[in-house]
Amino acid sequence: MLVKVCGLQTVEAAKTAVDDGADYLGIICVPGRKRTIDSSVAKGISTAVHQQENVKGTKLVGVFRNQSVDDVLQLYHEYNLDVIQLHGDEDIKEYRSLIPSSIPIIKRFQFPQDCELLLDLYEHVDNVLTLFDSGEGGTGEKLNWSAISSWSASHPEIKFIIAGGLNPDNVSVAINMLPNAIGVDVSGGVETDGIKDLEKVKLFIQQASQ
């Protein structure tokens, strides 16, 4: 099970997540969001993620929302990102055609309203990973796991990352309910008073990796 810790705002939290075995670390590159970080912090986190001691190969994900391809690629290079996450209403066919195919993309789809779009796109875009999340992301809004499980049983070819309302107490339940999920994504569920709680980060990764 892949584990993504998103909305990181400090180098300390990033180092903790790397040391605890996270597969992906997400930083918010959308202007004006509560977890958006400035360039110096982003570069510090990037350095921490790509340090030699990162034996697991944790990847750094930049989260974007309805930004131009030029802006996305500029920050991709500036922050030495490994993965681009598109969390808005982007036309994934267009973005995939303009972003080098070697760069992995995570695309947010809302459940259930985006399911038909997802099915239409599935065979037409390469190196794109599906993320089921709420509209804004990072709100703690829990998705309907039962409904996703039923839909997924009819479309087992579509593997996905699940986000929305996950925390150390419920992540194992979500994983058990969603056999076609290949990853889990957490942000607010490992925070205390809006700040990443290092013990919660560690516990979440442990629970998701069992």
Domains of the chain by start residue, with CATH: 2-208 (3.20.20.70)
- Residue 70 confidence (pLDDT) above 70: yes
pLDDT of residue 134: 76
Q: How far apart are CA 49 and CA 126, in angstroms?
A: 26
Model confidence at 115: pLDDT above 70: yes
pLDDT (tens digit per residue) in 19-59: 999 999 999 999 999 999 999 999 999 999 998 667 789 99
The structure's pTM equals: 0.95
- State in Å, rounded, how far the first CA of the chain is from the last one: 9
Q: What is the mean pLDDT of the chain?
A: 94
Place of tokens 């994934």: 92
CA distance 88 to 92: 10
Span 73-113, pLDDT tens digits = 999 999 999 999 999 999 999 999 999 999 999 999 999 99
